[in-house]
Amino acid sequence: MSEIDSRLKKVINLIVKSGYQLDADALEFLKNLDQDLVYDYVNKIIQELATSSENPLFLKREFFESGIARIKSLEATSKEVKENFAGFQPYAKEITEKLEVLDDSANREGVEGNIENYVNYFRDRFFKIEKILRERTDVKDAISINTALKAPIKSKMKIIGIVIDKRERKRTIFIQVEDDETNLTILVPSGSDKTLFDKTRRLLVDQVVCIEIIKIEESVFIAKDIISPDIPERRPNTSADQIYVALTSDIHIGSKKFLSDAFGHFIEWLKGSEGNGRQREIASRVKYLVIAGDLVDGIGIYPGQEKGL
């Protein structure tokens, strides 16, 4: 067997072990590539597939052509960034920004932080998560807590509520939940199924869940199962351009605990002044910076804060 055949066989083994198959045209394409590079190309493509929503059985020629072209483009960009290390060439700067304002809160009245605001927040949160829960086929028949309280003894039912308290005594866990009408205390006895007991122990206050219960006495309910909301499956939006968005929050400029040194390093990295070659390459592709709240540590926290900000 020639050295070329040996290297190509190694590539084919990699593809098969990864759970894919080659069609004849794709095999011919791989044969004609530089055999010193083909294994690395295919390995990178398979690694990309592992994190992709695509799951093809046969890998066709077009798939490898586009994948290798993309890898070569990234390698060329990486090489360019390294060659321009001192000057730092921000690739993202050359890409036209695409921004659409869906909702502008600048002219809205802010919240006052009073009890009514908190109640409205938790009510809104409860109804949104309740809607997600009711998309499950095993939760569609859930009833209100008020209806559960009026149900006959030995009734088996499901309710949706927000956990407002949880206590454990002698291996019996007491959960107090409420909806938009009333509240209910549910017991998880020590002899309960281990899976249910573990689920209950992981419950957090303010968590919205569906609980399957049995009414054994007036106002006494035993939990049989706890159902958490599913995370909806959504295919991520991707960009045709190889650019990134940096996500951050809770920076709290103005606080005594503000991490000024770390924030400074972050800014220098975005500018391309810090980091190794790969890190600078990533920085060169950051087109957008999203700050998800708490950029500053409030207003009026200490005298003269406005001037400092």
Mean pLDDT of residues grouped by 10 in the chain (309 residues)? Answer: 68 83 83 80 79 73 83 70 62 86 74 78 92 91 94 95 92 93 92 90 94 92 93 73 90 84 91 85 92 79 65
Task: Let me know how many helices (H) and strands (E) the chain has, helices first.
Answer: 10, 9
Q: What's the pLDDT score for residue 141?
A: 92
Q: What's the pLDDT score for residue 89?
A: 82
Q: Is the domain 120-227 a CATH 3.40.190.10 member? A: no
Q: How far apart are the first and last CA of the chain?
A: 71
Q: What's the pLDDT score for residue 113?
A: 67
Q: What's the pLDDT score for residue 144?
A: 95
Total-model pTM? 0.50
Q: What's the pLDDT score for residue 158?
A: 96
Q: What's the pLDDT score for residue 143?
A: 95
The domain ranges of the chain are 3-78, 91-95+241-308, 120-227
Fold classified for 3-78: Helicase, Ruva Protein; domain 3 (1.10.8)
Q: Which residue has the tokens 């540590």?
A: 297
The bridge status of strand 183-188 relative to strand 21-22 is unpaired
- Note whether 73 and 41 are within 8 A (CB): no
DSSP 92: G
Q: Alpha helix locations (H) across the chain?
A: 3-17, 24-31, 38-50, 61-83, 115-133, 145-150, 194-202, 260-270, 277-284, 305-308
Q: What's the pLDDT score for residue 1?
A: 43
